[in-house]
Amino acid sequence: MDFNIKFGNCPIYYTISKIEGKWKWVILYKLYKSKVIRYNRLWDELHPIAHRTLSKQLKELESDGLVHREQYNEVPPKVEYSLTKDGETLAPILELMSEWGEKHLKQEPQN
Asked if residue 62 belongs to a domain, the reply is yes
Segment 9-61, tens digit of pLDDT: 788 888 888 888 889 999 999 999 999 999 999 999 998 999 999 999 999 99
Which pLDDT belongs to residue 16? Answer: 85
Asked if residue 110 belongs to a domain, the reply is no
Q: Is residue 85 over pLDDT 90?
A: yes
Asked if residue 111 belongs to a domain, the reply is no
31 closest CA partner among 13, 20, 43, 48: 43
Which residues form the domain of 31?
Answer: 3-105
Q: Which residues of 1-33 are buried (b: 16+ CB within 10 A; e: fewer)?
A: eeeeeeeeeeeeeeeeebbeeebbbbbbbbbbe
Task: Specify the number of domains making up the chain.
Answer: 1
CATH of the domain at 48: 1.10.10.10
Question: Residue 88 in contact with residue 36, Cβ under 8 Å?
Answer: no
Which pLDDT belongs to residue 111? Answer: 60
Which pLDDT belongs to residue 26? Answer: 95
